[in-house]
Each structure stands twice: as structure tokens, then as C-alpha cells.
């Protein structure tokens, strides 16, 4: 009985030993898997390794043909492409795809935060006949202002020694299989193999120059000497060339992937509201309802509709931006008492803006906040009452017809009215003239002379930009009749004669042009609105002197400082707005000095653009 009882005990003891050994083995294996990055196919600057079939030496050898087996890059790239498509930044390879308009929802139903979205820039190619692969060669054609931003923020390469080691390792691997097949070069083959193994060991333990061993310079010299000997041998150049080209293709693919990823993050930074600004808006909204401030202002129709006063109109969903526009204007006004500002916003920002302008004064100027969703307008569909700001476009124009290469293209940026700007005569029925200011401008001079400006019977006093002419956009203007030599006009600072507008019924003209373009199909809505926008004011643009406005402070790093100081209005058109972290630093000071910093909510929310 005792003997029979001991059998199950021994079996249980052996089972316990096996379980313990298995547990120990797994406890060692799991950290090893994570260290090697095998749990998710970790993709790094140092290429993953696979066994070589032709080396016959036992050391790890990289074969670029197997790069398709690495799941991380392709999966991440597909995921990145999906995010780009859903969020709508204009960084697609398909030149001509516009991003979604500000404050709207895209095709996937994903809402884009509507409060502080800068204007994503659709790409317009001035000549549709050019092959897309030619356009893709130019960085700006594909990535827009990200290309400009990345060049300005380019950093010196770190860990240059690690890079040299990797480069030499790649070259040695390319030569080794061919050298190993030559019996006359057994010594060189062993030397290459030893150097490759040594470099693999070093790079497996070191990712920065600081981690490298002290004698790494000597090891690098030995490797370079071995590669020099290999190059002097008579080898199968076809095989070596194939290996090097495979490495080059991998490097180019990886570079493009990371550039696309970086461009996506750049666009995400543009379209994401800074936390401090979100806090400020929320605190103001909560304060409004907590204080039960139902009527923050007494209606002053005698001021709001007095045509003898200077009326400024600002379409904005950005509280601080519109505040800076108003503050900079009144600070330079000869008489702030006759200044009336009409800030047109949406329902989401209406309460916060209303309380802000109630709490903050701007000398003797009057500020009125309007919710566009509450306006009873005959020319606007109730289902389409979301706020639209000025539209911005990135236009690619070919310099030469003979040579359609990427260097023959130049990229220009234009900004024009949004659809809601064409409701101005209906919103302000009793006014004769208004000055429309974009919310990304800063005023540096007194604007009172604009009210006595003789516009020679024209409707829109604007800055003409002859870098883009209508003839260069003929592919988008369709069969409409227009003067090919006419220059594009810019929003930012616009003097509008409302009486002349009503007389010519330009709102109806715009609506008809818009409907005509929609029937034509083809382009997305924002691009379809550009022809209607430009052609509605055809022959009705009064060209302002160039000293009135300097544009490009949101995308051009090379604006002359003297030109900035001499301009009456600074226009930060482009993606790099001054309130964003990625804004151009040397232009931010002109904007920041007009911030209202004495409001306690500014400190509470740590607002410091």
C-alpha cells in the first residue's frame, strides 16, 4: 500500500517541478521579447535582422527584400493614412484634394473642433494636365506649409557616429555575400564577417553616441579599411548594386513614412485647440450661467445702425483673436468713440464672447456680438447656418510649359471671403459701408481714412495679389467668362460698399455661380466656392495700396521687417497662426502685445500664447 501511494506523490512532485521550470523559462522569455521589440515588430532607425541564406556564417544579416514582412510600418502607415483621411489635413499625395472647411464635420462624421481651427488649405494645381507623380516631387506641392516649417526647424543631426556605424554596416553587408563566394579572398571574408559581427554587437547595446565604447573610432577605421579592400576586388557588381539599391529603397520608404507622420502631427497641432484657450472659453461660459447674467448689454440700435459711425465686421470663432483685432484697432484710432465692432460668431462661442466683451473695455469703442444662428436671413438655409470664416487656398502654378518638373512650380497662398460674408448686406440692412477684418490680423495704423476712400464705384476695396491671376486658375473657373489677366484679391482688410453691393445684387450673383459650379460637379465644395468667390467681384475690386496690408505672416518666414513696420495691417494668413505654438516666433510679438492680460481668467487658465 505504501509503495502504491508513493507513485502519485512522485508524479505530483515531478509535475510541480515541470511547472516551476516552465514558469522560470517564461519569466526569462517575456523580458527578452520586449527588449528585442518582437512583441509588436518594433520599428526603429536600426533595421530589424533576419537570417541570411547566402552568408553561411551564422551572423545576422539584413535582407531588404524581407521588409514587407515587418508588420509595424505598414500597419502604422495604413492607420496614419486613415487618420489623415478622417481628420482632413491637406497632406494627401493626391494633389487637389481639399481639406474640410473650418468648423464642419468631415465625410466620416468626425467633428473637427470648431473653435480655433485654422483654415486648412486645399491644394489647387493651376494646370490639371500635369501628371501627379511630377507634382509629388516637390515638398510644398505635397505637404504645403509643413515643408516650410520643417526647414526652419531642422535640427543638426545627433548621434552622427551611430549613423556612420550603421552606414558602414549596410555597405559591408552588401559586399559580404559576394566576397564570401570567392575562395581567393577567405581572409577578407573573415575580416568582413568579424567587423559585421562587432558592429552588430555595438549597435545592439548602443543607440546614442554617448553609449558607444571608447575604441569605436578604431573599430570604424578597421571596418572602413575592410570595405575599401572589398571595393578593390573584382566582384559581381550587379549583386552589390542590387543590395545597395534595396537598402536605398528601404531608407527612402522609411524617410517618406516619417515625413508623412511628421506632417500629420503638424496638421494635428494646427487643428487642435490649445488647452488654455479651451479653458478660457469654458470658464467664461460657466461664469455667465452661474452669475445669471441674462442681459449683458442694452440694445443700442442708435449706434449699431448709425451709418455715420465707423463699423467694423469680424467673423470669428476665436475669442482672443477677435479681441486682439479690436484692441489693436482702437489703440491706433484717432477717435475710438466712433468705432463700432460687430463680432459675428456661432452658438458654441457666443456666450463666452458675449461675457468677455462685457468684462473688457476697448477705450470708447462699442462691441456687439452676434450669433449667426439666431439671424433671420432670407439668403441662407437654416440647415446651413454654421459659421464660415475666410477661406484660404494653396495654389501650385507651373512656371514653364516646356519642362513640367517639380522645380518649375511655385506655390502661392491666397485668402478670400467665406460663404457667410456674402450675407453682409442682409445682416446690416441700414448700413452703407463697412470694413471687414479677418480675425487673424493686427492693426498698426489709424484706419479712419478708409471711410472717406473714393472707390470709384467699386464694391470691394481689397489688396490685389497678382502672384495668382484668374487665367492660371482656368481649370477651376470653368466655362465662365472672365479676364485672364485679372489678379486674385485677398481678404484680411476689405472696404465694402454695401449700397453698391445691393444695387448690383452681388449676393444673388454669388449664389447663381455657386449653383452653376455644383451642377458641374467634380471638385469638393470648398474648391467649387472659389470660382464663385472670385467671379462675383469681377470688375468690382478697388485695389488698395500695398502699404495697407502685408500678408503671409502665417506661412512666410522671409517677410521684410521694414515692410512689416510700414504696413497698416498685418495679416497672419496661413496655418502658423500667432496664437499657436507652431506660429512663426519673430512675428508673434506684433500680435501678443495687444492681448488683454488683465482679465483674471487669463491667469487662471494660464493663457500665454
More confident residue, 93 or 578: 578
Q: pLDDT over 70 for what percent of the chain?
A: 71
Please tell me the predicted confidence (pLDDT) of residue 113.
30
Please tell me the predicted confidence (pLDDT) of residue 146.
84
Please tell me the predicted confidence (pLDDT) of residue 100.
32
Mean pLDDT is lowest, of 84-98, 100-114, 410-424, 563-577, for 100-114
Please tell me the predicted confidence (pLDDT) of residue 50.
27
Residue in 607, 583, 587 with CA at minimum distance from that of residue 597: 607
Q: What is the CA radius of gyration of the chain?
A: 32
* Helices (H), ranges, 138-236: 139-143, 145-152, 160-180, 186-205, 216-232
More confident residue, 217 or 524: 217
Please tell me the predicted confidence (pLDDT) of residue 240.
78
Contacts of 364 (CB under 8 A, 6+ apart): 330, 336, 337, 339
Is residue 98's pLDDT more than 90? no
Task: Please report which confidence band the pLDDT of residue 78 belongs to, taking 50, 70 and 90 as the band edges.
Answer: low
Task: Please report which confidence band the pLDDT of residue 579 belongs to, taking 50, 70 and 90 as the band edges.
Answer: very high
Residue in 195, 163, 492, 178 with CA at minimum distance from that of residue 314: 492
More confident residue, 455 or 524: 455
Q: What is the per-residue pLDDT across 269-326, written as a single tens digit (0 to 9) for each?
A: 888 888 999 999 999 999 988 886 656 666 677 899 999 999 999 999 999 999 999 9
**Consecutive H or E run containing 569:** strand 569-571
Mean pLDDT is lowest, of 24-28, 259-263, 560-564, 592-596, for 24-28
Task: Please report which confidence band the pLDDT of residue 35 belongs to, taking 50, 70 and 90 as the band edges.
Answer: very low
Instruction: Report whether 102 contacts 117 (CB < 8 A).
Output: yes
Please tell me the predicted confidence (pLDDT) of residue 484.
85
Mean pLDDT is lowest, of 22-31, 78-87, 507-516, 522-531, for 78-87
Q: What is the per-residue pLDDT across 381-410, written as a single tens digit (0 to 9) for each?
A: 555 667 888 888 888 777 655 555 545 677
d(CA 488, CA 471): 10
Q: Which CATH superfamily is domain 275-604 in?
A: Spore Coat Polysaccharide Biosynthesis Protein SpsA; Chain A (3.90.550.10)
More confident residue, 231 or 66: 231
Other CB atoms within a 10 A radius of the CB of residue 429 amount to: 9
Facing residues of 92 across strands?
none
Task: Please report which confidence band the pLDDT of residue 447 belongs to, taking 50, 70 and 90 as the band edges.
Answer: very high
Mean pLDDT is lowest, of 58-72, 398-412, 466-480, for 58-72
Please tell me the predicted confidence (pLDDT) of residue 150.
84
Is residue 120's pLDDT more than 80? no
d(CA 521, CA 509): 19
Is residue 23's pLDDT more than 50? yes
Is residue 132's pLDDT more than 50? no
Instruction: Report whether 100 contacts 113 (CB < 8 A).
Output: no
Task: Please report which confidence band the pLDDT of residue 123 belongs to, taking 50, 70 and 90 as the band edges.
Answer: low
Please tell me the predicted confidence (pLDDT) of residue 36.
44
Q: What is the mean pLDDT of the chain?
A: 77
Task: Please report which confidence band the pLDDT of residue 563 belongs to, taking 50, 70 and 90 as the band edges.
Answer: very high
Please tell me the predicted confidence (pLDDT) of residue 159.
83
Q: What is the DSSP string of 493-526?
A: EEEEEHHHHHHHTHHHHHHHHHHHHHHH--S-HH
Degrees, nearest 5: CA angle 256-259-260: 85
Other CB atoms within a 10 A radius of the CB of residue 257 amount to: 16
Mean pLDDT is lowest, of 18-27, 165-174, 270-279, 368-377, for 18-27
Q: What is the per-residue pLDDT across 491-542, written as a single tens digit (0 to 9) for each?
A: 999 999 999 999 999 999 998 888 877 665 444 566 777 888 889 999 999 9
Q: What is the DSSP string of 306-374?
A: -TTSEEEEEE-S-HHHHHHHHHHHHHT-S-GGGEEEEEEE-HHHHHHHHHHHHH---TT-EEEEEEGGG
d(CA 79, CA 334): 56
Is residue 210's pLDDT more than 80? yes
d(CA 161, CA 169): 12
Please tell me the predicted confidence (pLDDT) of residue 346.
92
Residue whose C-alpha cell reads 491667469 in the numeric block = 603
- Joined grid coordinates for residue 230: 572589398
Please tell me the predicted confidence (pLDDT) of residue 256.
84
Q: What is the per-residue pLDDT across 221-277, written as a single tens digit (0 to 9) for each?
A: 999 999 998 888 877 677 777 878 888 888 888 888 888 888 888 888 888 888 999
Amino acid at each position: 500500500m505504501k509503495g502504491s501511494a508513493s507513485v502519485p506523490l512522485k508524479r505530483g512532485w515531478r509535475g510541480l517541478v515541470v511547472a516551476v521550470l516552465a514558469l522560470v523559462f517564461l519569466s526569462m522569455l517575456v523580458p527578452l521579447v520586449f527588449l528585442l521589440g518582437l512583441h509588436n515588430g518594433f520599428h526603429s532607425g536600426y533595421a530589424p535582422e533576419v537570417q541570411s541564406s547566402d552568408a553561411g556564417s551564422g551572423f545576422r544579416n539584413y535582407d531588404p527584400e524581407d521588409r514587407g514582412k515587418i508588420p509595424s510600418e505598414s500597419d502604422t502607415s495604413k492607420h496614419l493614412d486613415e487618420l489623415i483621411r478622417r481628420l482632413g489635413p491637406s497632406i494627401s499625395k493626391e494633389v487637389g484634394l481639399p481639406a474640410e472647411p473650418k468648423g464642419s464635420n468631415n465625410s466620416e462624421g468626425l467633428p473637427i473642433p470648431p473653435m480655433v481651427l485654422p483654415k486648412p488649405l486645399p491644394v489647387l494645381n493651376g494646370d490639371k494636365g500635369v501628371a501627379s507623380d511630377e507634382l509629388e516631387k516637390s515638398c510644398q506641392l505635397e505637404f504645403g506649409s509643413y515643408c516650410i516649417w520643417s526647414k526652419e526647424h531642422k535640427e543638426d543631426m545627433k548621434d552622427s557616429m551611430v549613423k556612420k556605424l550603421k552606414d558602414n554596416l549596410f555597405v559591408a553587408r552588401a559586399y559580404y555575400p559576394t566576397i564570401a563566394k570567392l575562395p581567393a579572398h577567405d581572409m577578407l571574408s573573415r575580416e568582413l564577417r568579424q567587423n559585421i559581427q562587432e558592429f552588430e554587437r555595438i549597435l545592439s547595446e548602443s543607440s546614442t553616441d554617448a553609449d558607444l565604447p571608447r575604441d569605436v573610432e578604431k573599430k570604424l577605421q578597421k571596418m572602413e579599411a575592410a570595405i575599401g579592400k572589398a571595393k578593390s576586388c573584382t566582384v559581381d557588381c550587379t549583386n552589390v548594386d542590387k543590395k545597395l539599391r534595396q537598402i536605398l529603397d528601404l531608407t527612402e520608404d522609411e524617410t517618406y513614412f516619417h515625413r508623412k507622420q511628421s506632417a500629420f502631427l503638424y496638421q494635428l497641432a494646427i487643428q487642435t485647440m490649445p488647452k488654455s484657450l479651451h479653458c478660457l472659453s469654458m470658464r467664461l461660459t460657466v461664469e455667465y450661467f452661474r452669475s445669471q447674467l441674462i442681459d449683458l448689454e442694452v440694445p443700442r440700435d442708435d449706434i449699431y445702425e448709425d451709418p455715420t459711425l465707423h463699423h467694423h465686421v469680424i467673423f470669428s470663432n476665436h475669442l482672443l483673436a477677435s479681441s486682439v483685432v479690436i484692441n489693436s484697432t482702437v489703440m491706433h484710432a484717432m477717435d475710438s468713440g466712433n468705432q463700432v465692432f460687430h463680432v459675428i460668431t456661432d452658438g458654441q462661442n457666443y456666450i463666452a464672447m458675449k461675457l468677455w466683451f462685457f468684462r473688457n473695455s476697448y477705450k470708447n469703442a462699442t462691441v456687439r456680438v452676434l450669433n449667426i444662428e439666431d439671424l433671420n436671413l432670407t439668403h441662407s438655409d437654416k440647415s446651413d447656418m454654421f459659421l464660415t470664416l475666410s477661406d484660404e487656398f494653396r495654389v501650385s502654378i507651373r512656371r514653364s510649359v516646356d519642362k513640367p518638373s517639380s522645380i518649375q512650380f511655385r506655390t502661392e497662398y491666397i485668402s478670400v471671403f467665406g460663404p457667410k460674408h456674402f450675407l453682409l448686406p442682409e445682416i446690416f440692412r441700414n448700413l452703407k459701408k463697412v470694413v471687414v477684418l479677418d480675425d487673424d490680423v493686427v492693426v498698426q495704423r489709424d484706419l479712419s481714412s478708409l471711410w472717406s476712400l473714393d472707390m470709384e464705384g467699386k464694391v470691394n476695396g481689397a489688396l490685389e495679389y497678382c502672384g495668382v491671376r484668374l487665367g492660371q486658375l482656368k481649370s477651376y473657373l470653368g466655362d465662365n467668362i472672365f479676364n485672364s489677366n485679372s489678379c486674385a484679391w485677398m481678404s484680411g482688410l476689405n472696404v465694402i460698399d454695401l449700397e453698391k453691393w445691393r444695387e448690383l445684387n452681388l449676393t444673388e450673383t454669388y449664389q447663381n455661380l455657386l449653383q452653376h459650379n455644383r451642377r458641374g460637379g467634380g471638385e469638393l465644395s470648398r474648391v467649387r466656392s472659389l470660382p464663385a468667390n472670385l467671379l462675383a467681384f469681377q470688375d468690382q475690386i478697388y485695389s488698395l495700396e500695398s502699404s495697407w496690408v502685408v500678408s503671409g505672416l502665417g506661412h512666410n518666414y522671409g517677410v521684410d521687417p521694414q515692410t512689416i513696420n510700414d504696413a497698416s495691417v498685418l495679416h497672419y494668413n496661413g496655418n502658423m497662426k500667432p496664437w499657436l505654438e507652431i506660429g512663426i516666433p519673430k512675428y508673434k510679438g506684433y500680435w501678443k502685445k495687444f492681448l488683454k492680460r488683465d482679465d483674471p481668467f487669463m491667469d487662471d487658465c494660464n493663457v500665454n500664447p
